[in-house]
């Protein structure tokens, strides 16, 4: 069988993706062992449902052994008593956590999307909003920072069952100990969603919410943790039955073995000293990028970053996030428009632009590369006119992209990159 139709589309995506500079904060480029499923034999298609040791199918002993090892690695990496490694995504890990801790109609207190929260924290069209009474807190519009006193006041007033901390576009460190204290004071449980910062937490660069007793920690796998798609819920032994049954049979049935193997290898990778050094470079690159952009005259939400991401406040430039995103895409640089706290523009346009360094760092970008990258971003965002990408700026971007880098995690895919257009979708 030769399915040329899908093959052609797949090669097109390879050519596209391997020819762009990806600054999307939620992306990453996993090492080859995590990606390569050619050696995975029957795992490429095997799936089964149920918990370890209790699968209602014959012949799942080896499957259980793989799942047990994967969960052990997750527990060890994050220092949790229990890990459920079955959620197929971070969003479903969150749904399972909520379901384990709440009944329909209970109150969930989380950050709004405009301030940096996630869809699965209670966007008005998300299932979560149908199931629970969602109340939001926001960051301070001026400083862009969390206001813990105000969050405490809202929690005292609204008496949530679950308080959510951990975000998609918050560039600063989160005080999980303080969040846990607020949750305890109002009789709520803390759900700490570390989807974006899981790699930084695993590397010991950010506070680990697993250290806070009674907290349920959720994460996706494909962001800074540098895996392929997946989700994890971490909790205490006490919460294990509620969390496990919320995942199965509460939310999902079968789990694919390939996803578990990839996750096991992701967690193996994340426990190495090289991974820790990588995360330090990710944060160093984000800080450097933030510094250059500030020096060049741009505003950043919260004035900088402690993480792998930053959000440019485009208000003074007059550009929308959508327009800034388009300019960078014209050059072959991927980013995404992002709402600002109190943003006057609708979400589709937005007034912010979110940039992240996980992927470029995985692809070997060093301090010089980040300086050049910042220079290109500044020229594009501050240009008075933009009909199409200026040739000189395009040439600089291509030179930066094509600079040989020994430690490019995607180097093995280079043959697929062949000369091809840098931009996927024409407008
Ligand atoms: C990305 C993200 C998720 C969801 O992860 P998916 O794997 O895309 O479902 C959940 N929470 C936060 C804060 C995120 O940024």
Q: What are phi and psi of 163, to 5 degrees?
A: -115, 125
Separation of alpha carbons 350 and 333, rounded Å: 18
Percent of the chain with pLDDT over 70: 97
Residue whose CA is closest, atom 2 of ligand 1?
195
CA of 386 to the centre of ligand 1 (A): 33
- Per-residue pLDDT tens for 407-425? 999 999 987 766 444 455 5
- Per-residue pLDDT tens for 331-368? 999 999 999 999 999 999 999 999 999 999 999 999 99
Mean pLDDT of 17-29: 97
CA of 224 to the centre of ligand 1 (A): 11
Residue 427, pLDDT > 50, answer no
What does the pLDDT read at residue 121?
Answer: 98
Separation of alpha carbons 100 and 80, rounded Å: 17
Contact (CB, 8 A) for 328 and 335: yes
Residue whose token pair is 């405490």: 152
Residue whose token pair is 């862009």: 144
94 CA: nearest ligand 1 atom: 10
State if residue 25 touches ligand 1 by the CB under 6 angstroms criterion: no
Contact (CB, 8 A) for 114 and 341: yes
Burial of 353 (0-12, 13-18, 19+ CB in 10 A): buried
Query: Which of 115, 193, 228 has the most ligand 1 atoms within 8 A of CB, as the residue to mutate?
Result: 193
State if residue 26 touches ligand 1 by the CB under 6 angstroms criterion: yes
222 CA: nearest ligand 1 atom: 7
This prediction's pTM? 0.96
State if residue 126 touches ligand 1 by the CB under 6 angstroms criterion: no
State if residue 228 touches ligand 1 by the CB under 6 angstroms criterion: no
CA of 111 to the centre of ligand 1 (A): 14
State if residue 144 touches ligand 1 by the CB under 6 angstroms criterion: no
- Per-residue pLDDT tens for 66-95? 999 999 999 999 999 999 999 999 999 999
What does the pLDDT read at residue 92?
Answer: 98
State if residue 91 touches ligand 1 by the CB under 6 angstroms criterion: yes
Residue whose token pair is 């840098």: 422
Write the secondary structure of the chain as one string of H (helix), E (strand) and C (coil).
CCCHHHHHHHHHHHHHHCCCEECCCCCCCCCHHHHCCCCCHHHHCCEEECCCCCCCCCCCHHHHHHHHHHHHHHHHHHCCCEEECCCCCHHHHHHHHHHHHCCCCCEEEEECCCCCCCHHHCCCCCHHHHHCEEEEECCCCCCCCCCHHHHHHHHHHHCCCEEEECCCCCCCCCCHHHHHHHHHHCCCEEEEECCCCHHHHHCCCCCCHHHCCCCEEEEECCCCCCCCCCEEEEECHHHHHHHHHHHCCCCCCEEEHHHHHHHHHHHHHHCCHHHHHHHHHHHHHHHHHHHHHHHCCCEEHHHCCCCCEEEEECHHHCCCHHHHHHHHHHHCEECEEECCCCCCCCCCCCCEEEEECHHHHHCCCCHHHHHHHHHHHHHHHHCCCCCCCCHHHHHHHHHHHHCCCCCCCCHHHHHHHCCCCCCCCCC
Measured CA to CA in angstroms, residue 211 lies from 215, 216, 279, 405 at distances of 8, 10, 20, 38
Query: Which of 25, 27, 91, 96 has the most ligand 1 atoms within 8 A of CB, as the residue to mutate?
Result: 91
- Per-residue pLDDT tens for 42-69? 998 999 999 999 999 999 999 999 999 9
Length of the chain: 427
196 CA: nearest ligand 1 atom: 15
Separation of alpha carbons 212 and 180, rounded Å: 6
Residue whose CA is closest, atom 3 of ligand 1?
90
Query: Which of 97, 113, 168, 263 has the most ligand 1 atoms within 8 A of CB, as the residue to mutate?
Result: 168
Query: Which of 111, 117, 120, 199 has the most ligand 1 atoms within 8 A of CB, as the residue to mutate?
Result: 120
What does the pLDDT read at residue 418?
Answer: 61
Query: Which of 90, 96, 170, 354 has the most ligand 1 atoms within 8 A of CB, as the residue to mutate?
Result: 90
Separation of alpha carbons 238 and 360, rounded Å: 40
What does the pLDDT read at residue 126?
Answer: 96
- With bands split at pLDDT 50, 70 and 90, how would you rate the model's confidence at 426? very low
Residue whose CA is closest, atom 6 of ligand 1?
90
CA of 195 to the centre of ligand 1 (A): 5
Separation of alpha carbons 402 and 418, rounded Å: 11
- What mean pLDDT is reported for the chain? 95
Mean pLDDT of 103-131: 96
Q: What number of other Cβ atoms are within 10 A of residue 372's Cβ?
A: 17
Separation of alpha carbons 245 and 100, rounded Å: 8
Residue 39, pLDDT > 90, answer no
Strand partners, 67: none
Residue 29, pLDDT > 70, answer yes
CA of 98 to the centre of ligand 1 (A): 14
166 CA: nearest ligand 1 atom: 13
Separation of alpha carbons 42 and 142, rounded Å: 54
State if residue 89 touches ligand 1 by the CB under 6 angstroms criterion: yes
Residue whose token pair is 């939620």: 26
Percent of the chain with pLDDT over 90: 92
Mean pLDDT of 34-47: 87
Quick one: residue 350, left, alpha or beta (phi over 0 = left, psi -120 to 50 = alpha)? left
What does the pLDDT read at residue 420?
Answer: 47
């Amino acid at each position: 069988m030769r399915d040329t139709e899908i093959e052609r589309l797949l090669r097109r995506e390879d050519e596209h993706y391997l020819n762009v500079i990806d600054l999307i904060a939620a992306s990453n480029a996993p090492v080859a062992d995590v990606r390569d499923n050619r050696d995975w034999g029957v795992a490429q298609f095997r799936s089964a449902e149920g918990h370890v040791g209790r699968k209602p199918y014959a012949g799942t002993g080896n499957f259980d052994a793989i799942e047990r090892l994967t969960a052990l690695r997750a527990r060890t990496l994050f220092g949790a008593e229990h890990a459920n490694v079955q959620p197929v995504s971070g969003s479903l890990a969150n749904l399972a956590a909520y379901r384990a801790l709440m009944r329909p109609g209970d109150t969930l207190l989380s950050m709004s999307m405009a301030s940096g929260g996630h869809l699965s924290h209670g966007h008005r069209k998300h299932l979560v909003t149908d199931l629970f009474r969602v109340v939001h807190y926001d960051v301070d519009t001026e400083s862009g920072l969390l206001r813990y006193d105000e969050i405490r006041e809202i929690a005292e007033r609204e008496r949530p069952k679950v308080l959510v901390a951990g975000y998609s576009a918050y560039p600063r460190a989160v005080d999980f100990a303080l969040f846990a204290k607020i949750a305890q004071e109002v009789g709520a449980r803390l759900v700490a969603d570390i989807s974006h910062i899981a790699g930084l937490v695993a590397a010991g660069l950010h506070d680990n919410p697993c250290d806070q007793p009674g907290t349920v920690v959720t994460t996706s796998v494909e962001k800074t943790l540098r895996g392929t798609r997946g989700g994890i819920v971490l909790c205490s032994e006490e919460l294990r039955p509620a969390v496990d049954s919320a995942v199965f049979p509460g939310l999902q049935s079968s789990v694919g073995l390939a996803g578990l193997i990839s996750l096991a290898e992701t967690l193996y990778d994340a426990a190495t000293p090289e991974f820790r050094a990588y995360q330090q470079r990710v944060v160093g690159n984000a800080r450097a990028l933030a510094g250059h952009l500030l020096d060049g005259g741009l505003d950043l939400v919260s004035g900088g970053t402690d993480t792998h991401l930053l959000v440019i406040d485009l208000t003074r430039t007059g550009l929308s996030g959508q327009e800034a995103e388009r300019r960078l895409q014209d050059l072959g640089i991927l980013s995404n428009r992002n709402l600002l706290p109190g943003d006057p523009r609708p979400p589709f346009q937005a007034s912010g632009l979110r940039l992240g360094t996980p992927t470029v760092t995985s692809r070997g970008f060093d301090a010089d590369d980040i300086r050049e990258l910042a220079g290109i971003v500044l020229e594009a965002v501050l240009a008075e006119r933009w009909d199409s990408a200026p040739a000189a700026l395009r040439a600089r971007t291509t030179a930066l992209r094509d600079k040989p880098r020994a430690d490019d995690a995607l180097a093995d895919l280079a043959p697929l990159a062949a000369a091809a257009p840098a931009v996927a979708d024409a407008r």
